[in-house]
């Protein structure tokens, strides 16, 4: 340590302390600069991460809408507005067949008018077919969609049946109903 007199005042001069404080100040400034730069880069990284998450969400949302559309292609209306938040309705598979209730027959002289009485509590009946045969015969006519059988013999006994198909493809034949055409 060196003591210098200046106008009668003694001054101490420590050379190392000034240099050390300067170096410490510079190191602190470098550390603070590094922290600030990392924080700014972190902000950019956070913004970029949010953008990536949003893109992933949109992509997954699109994929789910496509899957819902594929599910919807089987004939069930399960979504009202694809791409918009909406309620989803799921229709459980209908494993029940239509009932086997015998038809009602209105006879005329050369024709029979048949009314199907089969019902379905699941998906509802979507198709009805009709068949006829003379009483005592083994073979039935081919199924037809018309409920009227014409060109029949008068005063003759017949057997009729219906076949109902529901919205899920379940089919069932009715029990047989006997009917007799009227006399001329």
CA distances from 60 to 30, 135, 165, 182 (A): 44, 64, 39, 69
Is 133 a domain residue? yes
State whether 14 and 55 are in the same domain. Answer: yes
User: Does residue 149 fall inside a structural domain?
Assistant: yes
For residue 66, give the nearest of 49, 83, 43 by alpha carbon: 83
d(CA 143, CA 7): 132
* Pair 16, 65 in one domain: yes
Q: Is residue 91 part of a domain?
A: no
Task: List the domain range (segments joined by +) for residue 36.
Answer: 2-72
Mind listing the pLDDT tens digit of every residue in the chain (184 residues)? 455 555 555 555 555 566 677 777 888 888 887 777 777 766 666 667 667 767 777 777 777 777 666 665 555 544 445 555 555 555 557 778 899 999 999 999 999 999 999 999 888 899 999 999 999 999 999 999 999 999 999 999 999 999 999 888 889 999 999 999 998 8
Kindly state whether residue 8 falls inside one of the protein's structural domains.
yes
């Amino acid at each position: 340590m060196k003591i210098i007199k200046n106008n009668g005042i003694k001054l101490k001069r420590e050379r190392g302390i000034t240099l050390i404080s300067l170096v410490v100040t510079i190191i602190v400034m470098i550390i603070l600069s590094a922290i600030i730069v990392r924080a700014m880069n972190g902000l950019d990284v956070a913004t970029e991460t949010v953008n990536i998450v949003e893109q992933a969400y949109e992509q997954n949302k699109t994929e789910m809408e496509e899957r819902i559309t594929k599910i919807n292609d089987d004939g069930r209306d399960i979504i009202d507005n694809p791409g918009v938040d909406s309620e989803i309705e799921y229709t459980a598979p209908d494993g029940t067949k239509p009932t086997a209730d015998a038809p009602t027959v209105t006879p005329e002289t050369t024709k029979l008018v048949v009314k199907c009485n089969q019902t379905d509590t699941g998906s509802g009946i979507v198709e009805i077919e009709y068949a006829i045969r003379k009483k005592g015969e083994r073979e039935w006519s081919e199924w037809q969609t018309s409920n009227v059988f014409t060109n029949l013999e008068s005063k003759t006994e017949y057997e009729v049946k219906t076949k109902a198909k529901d919205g899920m493809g379940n089919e069932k034949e009715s029990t047989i109903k006997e009917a007799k055409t009227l006399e001329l």
